[in-house]
Structure 1
Amino acid sequence: MKKRILFFIAVFTVLNLQAQISVKPGLRGGFSFSTISEMHADYKTDFYVGGFSEIKITKIYALQPELNYTRQGSNNVARNYYDERTRSEQVEYLDLEINYLSLSVMNKFTLPQGIQFQAGPTLDILLNDNLAVRKAQNDLGLVLGVAYALPSGLTFEARFKKGLLDILSSDYYQNDSNNYYLFGDYNTNINFQLGISYSFGK
Structure 2
Amino acid sequence: MNKNVLFIIVFFTVLSIHAQISVQPGLRGGFSFSTISEMHADYKTDFYVGGFTDIKITKIYSLQPEINYSRQGSNNVARNYYDESSQTNKVEHLDLDINYLSLSLMNKFTLPQGIQFQAGPTLDILLNDNLAVRKAQNDLGLVLGVAYALPSGLTFEARFKKGLLDVLSSDYYQNDSNNYYLFGDYNTNINLQLGISYTFKTK
Sequence identity percentage: 86
Q: How many matched pairs?
A: 202
Rounded to whole Å, the distance in 2 between the matches of 1:9 and 1:188 is 50
Rounded to whole Å, the distance in 1 between the matches of 2:186 and 2:166 is 5
Rounded to whole Å, the distance in 1 between the matches of 2:194 and 2:145 is 10
Mapping of 1:81-92 within 5 angstroms? 81-92=81-92
Moved more, 8-17 or 25-34: 8-17
Counterpart in 2 of 1:73? 73
Rounded to whole Å, the distance in 1 between the matches of 2:90 and 2:104 is 41
Counterpart in 2 of 1:193? 193
Distance 1:92 1:113, change over 3 A: same
Distance 1:23 1:42, change over 3 A: same
Rounded to whole Å, the distance in 2 between the matches of 1:139 and 1:198 is 27
Distance 1:9 1:36, change over 3 A: same
**How big is the shift at 1:64?**
0.3
Rounded to whole Å, the distance in 1 between the matches of 2:17 and 2:138 is 37
For the Cα contact (< 8 Å) 1:146–1:157, is it kept in 2?
A: yes
Rounded to whole Å, the distance in 2 between the matches of 1:180 and 1:173 is 11
Moved more, 71-80 or 172-181: 172-181
**How big is the shift at 1:51?**
0.3
**TM-score, with structure 1 as normaliser:** 0.96
**TM-score, with structure 2 as normaliser:** 0.96
What's the CA shift string for 1:85-111, capped at 9, x where partnerless? 110111111000000000000000000
**How big is the shift at 1:11?**
1.1
Counterpart in 2 of 1:160? 160
Mapping of 1:17-96 within 5 angstroms? 17-96=17-96
Structure 1 residue runs without a partner (length 5+): none
For the Cα contact (< 8 Å) 1:78–1:175, is it kept in 2?
A: no
What's the CA shift string for 1:102-150, capped at 9, x where partnerless? 0000000000000000000000000000000000000000000000000
SS at 2:40 equivalent: coil
SS at 2:7 equivalent: helix
Structure 2 residue runs without a partner (length 5+): none
Distance 1:113 1:175, change over 3 A: farther
SS at 1:172 equivalent: helix
Residues 1:172 and 2:172 aligned together: yes
Rounded to whole Å, the distance in 2 between the matches of 1:6 and 1:54 is 32
Residues 1:99 and 2:102 aligned together: no
**How big is the shift at 1:180?**
5.2
**How big is the shift at 1:184?**
1.1
Rounded to whole Å, the distance in 2 between the matches of 1:179 and 1:63 is 45
Counterpart in 1 of 2:11? 11
Moved more, 4-13 or 76-85: 4-13
AA at the equivalent of 1:75: N
Aligned alpha-carbon RMSD (Å):
1.3
**How big is the shift at 1:9?**
1.8
